[in-house]
Amino acid sequence: MRNIVQPKVYLVAKTELLSENLLAYIADIGGPAWKPGEGTPGGETLIEAAGRICYRSWQEYDPEIPEGTNPNVVRVRGGAREYIANLLAHGHGSVLEHVSATFILKDVSRVLTHELVRHRAGMAFSQESLRYVRLDDLGFWFPRALERNPDALKRFEEVAGFLESVQKELAGLFDVGHMKDFKTKKELTSLFRRLAPQGLGTTIMVTGNLRAYRHIIAARTNEAAEEEIRLVVGEMAAVLKSEYPAVFQDMTRDEATGAWVFEHRKV
């Protein structure tokens, strides 16, 4: 049996709110009656503050607080959840870009990473280099269809094993194990990877803002998307919904298909 891996999703960083500094700003604009909601995730308070800066809608108009209020504001929505619901309904998604989350995706294939890095807007990626990192033990995630076909499974395992042996054989032919010169090792590792399968397990760090993640989750958990990316982005969606319940309040999982669907698709 080949080295079977299961993709893993780790949330390793997220935007931190410096609430004391935000409150110092609120004091600076005359101290409107607003404060971060108790229990509201810092990122969602930041999004709320971004929106309120746009309209000076910290509270109803008060001529004594000209910098912090606005006579055009007729209704002030209270709390991040209600405030963000309104932003989503009106498609004012740019404020979601102030908050980012970083994941490490471990044991995902290059099939997955090729697809994920197509998302350019609001995203940053750092992927394990197969020019520097020599391959010897190849891990594979096995798509579900293999369970239905024992002959195909056997062949899959054989070819995976063969491709792993090719990596070791090439390293032996060049005696890379005893080589000191890093430049030559890099040249050879790059040569070897040309015969590495795109199904091999690798690691990528992904940072994105919440607006970009909403778009990626909708596209990549959809039934039309590829099996592995659906699985991995689906897990990222669950993490993000738990971290940012207001930003993802209109996102629900369709139990029949496993897709995460949004009431407001394009914000």
- Residues taking part in catalysis: 220
Closest approach, Cβ 53 to ligand FAD, in A, equals 24
DSSP, residue by residue, 141-159: ---GGGGG-HHHHHHHHHH
| Cβ distance to ligand FAD smaller for residue 119 or 168 | 119
DSSP, residue by residue, 23-47: HHHHHHTT--S--PPTT--HHHHHH
Closest approach, Cβ 215 to ligand FAD, in A, equals 5
Closest residue to ligand FAD, based on beta-carbon distance: 119
CA-CA distance, 151 to 256, in Å (whole number)? 29
| Cβ distance to ligand FAD smaller for residue 80 or 210 | 210
| Cβ distance to ligand FAD smaller for residue 118 or 154 | 118
| Cβ distance to ligand FAD smaller for residue 84 or 259 | 259
Closest approach, Cβ 239 to ligand FAD, in A, equals 19
Give the tokens for residue 60. 């109803």
Contact set with ligand FAD (CB under 6 A): 118-121, 215, 219-220, 224-225
Q: How far is CA 208 from CA 23, 117, 136, 148, 218, in A?
A: 26, 11, 31, 36, 14
| Cβ distance to ligand FAD smaller for residue 90 or 118 | 118
Do 103 and 217 contact (CB within 8 A), yes or no?
A: no
Closest approach, Cβ 210 to ligand FAD, in A, equals 13
Closest approach, Cβ 200 to ligand FAD, in A, equals 21
Q: Tell me the sheet residues that pair with 201.
A: 109
| Cβ distance to ligand FAD smaller for residue 125 or 174 | 125
Closest approach, Cβ 241 to ligand FAD, in A, equals 19
Q: How far is CA 240 from CA 32, 138, 214, 219, 267, in A?
A: 31, 30, 10, 16, 17
CA-CA distance, 59 to 33, in Å (whole number)? 6
Give the tokens for residue 241. 């919904």
Cβ burial of 240 (10 Å; 0-12, 13-18, 19+) is buried
DSSP, residue by residue, 59-128: SS--TT-TTT--TT------SHHHHHHHHHHTT-GGGGGG-EEEEEEEEEEHHHHHHHTT--TTEEEEE-
